Structure 1
Amino acid sequence: MAFTMDSGSALLSPMSAGLFLVSIVAYTGYVCYHAFLGVLADLPGPFTARFTNFWRVKSAASGKAPAKFQNLHRKYGSVVRVGPSHVSVSDPAQIPVIYGISSKFTKSPFYNVFGGCHSTLSIDASVLITSDPVIDNKVYRSIFTLQSQSAHRILKASIAQKYSLSSLLTLEPLVDTVTRNFMSTLRERSQTAPDTNIAGTRLDLGEWLQFYAFDVIGAITFSRTFGFIDDGKDERGVLRGLEGGLTYGAVVGQVPGAHPWLMGNPVLQNTVLKIPAIAKNNPVPIVYQMIKDQLASRTSSEQTSTREDFITFMKKQHEKDPERMSEATMMNHMFVNLLAGSDTTAISLRTIFYLLMKNPHVYAKLQAEIDDADAAGLLSPILTYAEAQTHVPYLALVIKEALRIHPAVALPLERIVPHGGIQINSHHIPAGTTIGINAWVVHYDTAVFGEDAYSFRPERWEDDGSERLKVMERSFFAFGHGSRSCIGKNISLMEMGKFVPQFLREFEITWDGDEEWKVESNWFAKQTNVFVRYKSRERKASTS
């Protein structure tokens, strides 16, 4: 019997209807086979994960992915099926296997969603938020989104030297300028703010730490800040635009095949980006223009070799080898710095101060160490990184524990299982499967970090020479692991190592928000409502 419309005319011929039904049955059979009899059929996990990626999409869209992955592994064990061909692993022993330098596991298509798309229009029509610049209508894949190991190795080799700690420490004076501006701005604000009282001045510290991190990235990239601290607000909507793009990437990244039909589609992309509210908050044109202006005006000899910002370094590399460090490559690296270099540091700084306020005994211990070093004349007016490392040793433990408690990345770092598959415990994971480890899961492993894994206890990182400390170090995943670990790790550590003791030396802070902060997780686990009362401490203000 043919399918018909109410007019009686055939909608599908008997043969077409038959083929349609056969296709449905065949597809259903295929899905059911892989769900219950396929190579991943023996893995535990949510029932819906056998058939669809719904659990992963829902988890990413909920803003609560870290807790959901923790609960998942608590219920099902160390190897869990989270999609038809996706597996989440919680065994920290697998970190060097999956992510090690010699690993053949490549990045999954999840990262394609954070890339640009080909467009016939100008940069103003580039993707809402991307770490891949579109230059002359060509997409340049970044260090973050490249899946090819060899291509990543080549691109990273041209810039890796600049991300070394020794190289970054030559930029301390640029960071100090931003720090000095931050401290003086807050001091002036406390003298004029209408909500100042005996407890101090109310401040959204979380927001201001984002301003600081963004201005530092601008300073070390091309000796110019974004002006966030001076403005005291996100005047151009750059931060709002970043947030929207990260949410899109986190959710659509669970089904990357949908990206070419959404913001990966030039027609839809260009249409959406013309909507005034979205166009206003698109950070890409702003960042692009800043980079373009600096590349056009800067020469490699404008700075001394001891204070060589990123653009000066790249200009010199360009003069030596214009093919390896082309202008497109320079723009590529600067996009990564400016669009991806502040969020993680701001998240980590919020975590440190929040946990200090929520754990007064830790706050008091760190404060005493800073004050003792200050009273002994061991600290410069603006602390150097070396001074903080040498004379405030407890700080390193506080930072490490804060990053364990609240890692910046909220989702698993996805990789593709290579030829031959992988054996994890009693499970064989075949080649082609997408596999990943979530820092929020391994960082709370009680077998590694003890029964108090959910407690903030910096002392757990004290070097007692025990095997347990070595296991904890191997299980620390805040910056990823191996050759694809966060290239900006040393930038973040330098900022935290300098800023935290400087701020605590100059200001006293107390919690003034709700009982808890608010954490909304997309790609990053970002905190809001970090309200404090701050007031200047009784000490001589910095003058240099």
Structure 2
Amino acid sequence: MLAFYDTLLAIAWNWPWMIVAGGACLFIKILADELWSPIARVPGVRPALLARLLTLYHMATGSFTAYTVSMSRRYGKLYRLSSNAVATTDVDAIRLIYSSTRFKKPECYRYFAFHRDSLLSTRDIEHHRRLLLLSQKRLVGPVFSTTSITELEPLVYRAGAAAMAKRVAQYADAGQPFDAMALSRLATLDVIGEVAFGGSFESLAMAQDEGSHPVFRWMNDMTHLGVLKQVFGRLCQPWIMPRHFASERMLVEFTRSVVQGRMAAIASDHPTTRDHAAKDVLQRLIEAVDPATGDRLDVDQIIAESIVQLTLHLLMEHPDVYHRLERELLAAIPDRDQAISHATVRHLPLLNAVLYESMRLRPVGSASQRVVPSGGMVIAGVYLPPGLVVHPITSGVHLLPEIFGDDAECFRPDRWLAATPEQLRGMRQCLLTFSLGARACIGRSLAWMELRLMLSVLVRRFVLSIPPCTKTDMTPVQRFGLKPRGGRLDVLAVHRTK
């Protein structure tokens, strides 16, 4: 036995032999992937090992979206990303994947289970179906109904559009440019606080050097933690990355304190709580009851769902569209200083077309992943076996010329105005910004309200422009969601005189 171990040690220290053995294993792996893999005939970069390395590189550098779009142009609607993963822009396949709960989320999603499994992170199909069809549809669904969204409008306007306009007015008075990207993020954060955490975080009201509410940093750290867990696995420990784990803990405890505080206020029947809480999402989550079972969401489930809960630049680049939007808003809102209601702007044709086109070209979300279920599936005429990971490429679908025209890569809101009813229906069905079917974003109606109000208030009250000699790189970069490479958008605002 000792002689055997001595032989193994001698081989281990024989570096030339180890290099030959490693090279042989690598050759066998490449040969197996190219000759015997179930997806060996799927087009893509070869060998599959190189494709995998390129995929990881572009994910790490944030250029995965641009990479997959270029791959779609080169290889068509289905191509290989590695030996066990493919990407697709096939609309029918993506519609099937997003409309069914049969397609399980891959392993990487479990790293985003913060505090407790939620709709975002769960990989258990039955658990997802139970959350979606029972608890979420009956308990959370009514929270985002048309009636509920209408009642949320005063909160959204006060915390978002009105607060944003007040902050921009300060920059306009001083004649200073401002980072529209940063203010938009703060406005979104304040709206989330107002409707889901019991009150605005008042980030927009803070002085520039005060920073924003720490919840913004906690949320960023938590998303980064999910990525770090995926990359480093068990090496991702609290003693190695204390800040990220501390942020997760603080956000959970902050949310718990808000939920328990509201429950205590409800129990005491405090009049201030009644006045504010009557409309917000937090109150509706606490009061929601499943009519079939009588069940309520417990505190931990409310915490989990609360945590889960770039149009200006395109307008600056296209002044003709910007001026037309100005005229549309001037006609709809004669008084510059009046409070804008969603009912006033929700049906404005050009406003909606601009938002549709902006979300098409610069979606804030990135591609998700799903696992092919038992029985396999066919995409673009190719059979894919069970267990294979499929990446639906949203950005690639948004650039399909057969859906959006030969100028699909151009910002042209008129495509939504000049389309026939059939073309318009096709484009809307292929706009995957909020996903679709069983995977559709439950808060999309709230997001639409915020987008319309925010853009209308800014364009109606201010003349906006990019300061001279300002370099702005809005190339989408994947950082959990899609963000501009430059990280900021400097805009100069001047008060409108009428």
Tell me whether the two structures share a fold, i.e. TM-score over 0.5.
yes
Match for 2:308 among 314, 336, 348? 336
Work out whether residues 81 and 87 of structure 1, in 8 Å CA contact, stay in contact via their aligned partners in 2.
yes
Deviation at 1:479, TM superposition (A): 1.1
The match for 1:398 is 354
Q: Which amino acid aligns with 1:312?
A: Q
The match for 1:173 is 154
Deviation at 1:108, TM superposition (A): 1.8
Deviation at 1:210, TM superposition (A): 0.5
Work out whether residues 318 and 326 of structure 1, in 8 Å CA contact, stay in contact via their aligned partners in 2.
no
The match for 2:197 is 222
Work out whether residues 237 and 283 of structure 1, in 8 Å CA contact, stay in contact via their aligned partners in 2.
no
The match for 1:314 is 285
Determine the C-alpha separation between the residues in 2 that align with 1:420 and 1:274: 44
Deviation at 1:94, TM superposition (A): 1.9
Deviation at 1:91, TM superposition (A): 1.7
Deviation at 1:293, TM superposition (A): 2.3
Match for 2:166 among 184, 192, 195? 184
The match for 1:369 is 328
Between 1:157-166 and 1:435-444, the stretch displaced more is 157-166
Q: Which amino acid aligns with 2:352?
A: A
| 1:202 equivalenced with 2:177 (yes/no) | yes
Matches within 5 A, 1:18-167: 29=28, 32-50=31-49, 53-100=52-99, 102=100, 104-115=102-113, 132-133=114-115, 140-155=116-131, 156-157=136-137, 158-167=139-148
Deviation at 1:42, TM superposition (A): 0.4
SS for the counterpart of 1:363 is: helix
Query: How far does the alpha carbon of each residue in 1:54-113 deviate from its partner, in whole angstroms, 9 at most, with x for none?
Result: 22211111111211111111111211000110000112232222211x452222223122
Deviation at 1:171, TM superposition (A): 1.1
* Percent of aligned pairs with the same amino acid: 21
The match for 2:437 is 482
Query: How far does the alpha carbon of each residue in 1:306-336 deviate from its partner, in whole angstroms, 9 at most, with x for none?
Result: 9421221122237998854111111111111
SS for the counterpart of 1:423 is: strand
SS for the counterpart of 1:225 is: coil
Deviation at 1:31, TM superposition (A): 5.5
TM-score by length of 1: 0.79
Deviation at 1:294, TM superposition (A): 1.9
Determine the C-alpha separation between the residues in 2 that align with 1:460 and 1:315: 43
TM-score by length of 2: 0.85
Q: Which amino acid aligns with 1:451?
A: D
Deviation at 1:404, TM superposition (A): 0.4
Q: Which amino acid aligns with 2:151?
A: T
Between 1:478-487 and 1:156-165, the stretch displaced more is 156-165
Query: How far does the alpha carbon of each residue in 1:137-179 deviate from its partner, in whole angstroms, 9 at most, with x for none?
Result: xxx1111111233322332233122122321221111112213
Work out whether residues 518 and 529 of structure 1, in 8 Å CA contact, stay in contact via their aligned partners in 2.
no
The match for 1:137 is none
Work out whether residues 113 and 259 of structure 1, in 8 Å CA contact, stay in contact via their aligned partners in 2.
no
Work out whether residues 362 and 476 of structure 2, in 8 Å CA contact, stay in contact via their aligned partners in 1.
no
The match for 1:503 is 458
| 1:262 equivalenced with 2:235 (yes/no) | yes
SS for the counterpart of 2:477 is: strand
Determine the C-alpha separation between the residues in 1 that align with 2:290 and 2:353: 42
The alignment covers a number of residue pairs equal to 475
Structure 1 pair 150/259, CA: closer, same or farther in 2 (3 Å)? farther
The match for 2:497 is 538
Structure 1 pair 422/283, CA: closer, same or farther in 2 (3 Å)? same
Determine the C-alpha separation between the residues in 2 that align with 1:48 and 1:355: 39
Between 1:461-470 and 1:172-181, the stretch displaced more is 461-470
The match for 1:12 is 9
Determine the C-alpha separation between the residues in 1 that align with 2:146 and 2:239: 43
Determine the C-alpha separation between the residues in 1 that align with 2:370 and 2:253: 34
SS for the counterpart of 1:223 is: coil
Structure 1 pair 211/305, CA: closer, same or farther in 2 (3 Å)? closer
Determine the C-alpha separation between the residues in 2 that align with 1:181 and 1:468: 38
Determine the C-alpha separation between the residues in 2 that align with 1:235 and 1:494: 23
Determine the C-alpha separation between the residues in 2 that align with 1:68 and 1:52: 11
Between 1:164-173 and 1:46-55, the stretch displaced more is 46-55
Between 1:487-496 and 1:44-53, the stretch displaced more is 44-53
The match for 2:256 is 292
SS for the counterpart of 1:517 is: coil
SS for the counterpart of 1:34 is: helix
SS for the counterpart of 2:465 is: strand
SS for the counterpart of 2:86 is: strand
Q: Which amino acid aligns with 1:517?
A: M
Between 1:46-55 and 1:314-323, the stretch displaced more is 314-323
Work out whether residues 215 and 229 of structure 1, in 8 Å CA contact, stay in contact via their aligned partners in 2.
yes
Determine the C-alpha separation between the residues in 2 that align with 1:34 and 1:395: 50
Determine the C-alpha separation between the residues in 2 that align with 1:87 and 1:241: 33
Structure 1 pair 240/64, CA: closer, same or farther in 2 (3 Å)? farther
| 1:408 equivalenced with 2:384 (yes/no) | no
Query: How far does the alpha carbon of each residue in 1:322-358 deviate from its partner, in whole angstroms, 9 at most, with x for none?
Result: 8541111111111112xxxxxxxxxxxxx11111111
Work out whether residues 30 and 48 of structure 2, in 8 Å CA contact, stay in contact via their aligned partners in 1.
no
Determine the C-alpha separation between the residues in 1 that align with 2:477 and 2:19: 43
Determine the C-alpha separation between the residues in 1 that align with 2:37 and 2:475: 41
Query: How far does the alpha carbon of each residue in 1:1-25 deviate from its partner, in whole angstroms, 9 at most, with x for none?
Result: x9999xxx65537899999999996
Determine the C-alpha separation between the residues in 2 that align with 1:319 and 1:479: 26
Determine the C-alpha separation between the residues in 1 that align with 2:215 and 2:321: 35
Match for 1:388 among 332, 345, 359? 345
| 1:493 equivalenced with 2:448 (yes/no) | yes
SS for the counterpart of 2:322 is: helix
> Tell me, which stretches of 5 or more residues in structure 1 are unaligned?
116-131, 134-139, 338-350, 540-544
Determine the C-alpha separation between the residues in 1 that align with 2:221 and 2:127: 29
Determine the C-alpha separation between the residues in 1 that align with 2:119 and 2:290: 22
Work out whether residues 33 and 47 of structure 2, in 8 Å CA contact, stay in contact via their aligned partners in 1.
no
Structure 1 pair 88/313, CA: closer, same or farther in 2 (3 Å)? same
> Tell me, which stretches of 5 or more residues in structure 2 are unaligned?
none
SS for the counterpart of 1:533 is: strand
Work out whether residues 507 and 536 of structure 1, in 8 Å CA contact, stay in contact via their aligned partners in 2.
yes
Determine the C-alpha separation between the residues in 1 that align with 2:290 and 2:395: 44
Deviation at 1:248, TM superposition (A): 5.8
SS for the counterpart of 1:477 is: coil
